[in-house]
Amino acid sequence: MHCLVFPGQGVQRKGMGEELFERYPRETAAASELLGFPVARLCLDDPGNRLADTRYAQPAVFLVNALSWMDLEREGRAYDYVAGHSLGEFNALVAAGVLDLMDGLALVRRRAELMAGVTGGAMAAVVGLSPERIEATLRGAGVNLVHIANRNSDQQVTVAGDRPQLALSVKALRTAGARVLPVAVSGPFHTPLMASAGRAFTKVLREYEFRAGHTPVMSSVTGAEFAADQAVTLLSRQISSPVEWVRTVRSLRAAGVDRFDEVNGTTLTAFIARIAAQPTEELI
């Protein structure tokens, strides 16, 4: 079985989508009108380094993901499952027929605005320790405002939280043998510190229709199939809950998926290659 996966914020780069905007002028124009700025110019030229700003990065990644998927669909590609990492899940819902393209973009724009409104936090990628070791190290450091934000692979986890406490956590994690790299975002995404943004997004989500769809989507919040009647709860929780990518990939494999394609880069492909079929003692 075959699954298509969509990445989230972090894959944005100057020049992305260069080969797509001319092929899909109608969708590009509609997106620019909805967003209020020329999205092709944003992606190709990155004026004012705006791709580093969540408010611009998330809609830009969403659109390039979507146009890349449309290219695959035009080629006649078909998939048994779709899934997305963080905002990429909105692309998965569009590809599955749960959401319309422009509704997905409108939701991502509002989501980005709400997430960017929570400041004072930071994120860091932790490489070389299992999630269990990372959680134990955080407990040992005595921090209460730093949390696991993304479980990306067996040996790559993102942590996020209050900026001063995260600095203490980074020292403890490095002492424990981890390689820690800062992530260029301004907020403690996918942690309880984002609860206010999640609540505000709930009100936005209630204004949209989520259909049953034609292709199953594996939720990155629960690691189970996405249920359209639970869309408001799942997508609002996504803002303040960890991205459970390891669980998602294991669920897809358990469902019979043995081939993954990725649009807009290879970030998730690299994570998938580093996720064992089952946890092992050496990883714990």
Can you tell me whether residue 133 is helix, strand or coil?
helix
pLDDT attached to residue 27: 97
* CA dihedral of residues 191, 218, 96, 264 (deg, nearest 10): 70
Of 161-170, 181-190, 193-202, least confident by mean pLDDT is: 181-190
pLDDT 10s digits, 203-232? 999 999 999 999 999 999 999 999 999 999
Whether 257 and 217 have beta carbons less than 8 Å apart is answered as no
Residues 34 and 20: their CA atoms lie apart, in Å, by: 18
pLDDT confidence tier of residue 280, bands split at 50, 70 and 90: very low
User: Quick one: average pLDDT of 145-161?
Assistant: 94
Query: Which residues are catalytic, by number?
Result: 86, 190
Question: What percent of the chain is predicted at pLDDT more than 70?
Answer: 98
pLDDT 10s digits, 236-246? 999 999 999 99
Q: Would you state the structure tokens that stand for residue 173, as one six-digit string?
A: 């994690």
Kindly tell me if the per-residue pLDDT of 283 is higher than 90. Answer: no
pLDDT attached to residue 282: 38
Residues 21 and 16: their CA atoms lie apart, in Å, by: 10
Query: Which domains does the chain carry?
Result: 2-117+191-273 (3.40.366.10), 121-183 (3.30.70.250)
Cα 23 → chain centroid: 26
Work out whether the CA dihedral 218, 124, 183, 147 comes out positive or negative.
Answer: positive
Q: What is the pTM of this model?
A: 0.94
User: Quick one: average pLDDT of 80-97?
Assistant: 98
Cα 133 → chain centroid: 23
Q: For residue 167, what are the CA distances in angstroms to 91, 161, 184?
A: 33, 10, 15
pLDDT confidence tier of residue 279, bands split at 50, 70 and 90: low
pLDDT attached to residue 278: 65
User: Quick one: average pLDDT of 52-76?
Assistant: 96
Closest alpha carbon to 235 in 221, 251, 216: 221
Kindly tell me if the per-residue pLDDT of 57 is higher than 90. Answer: yes
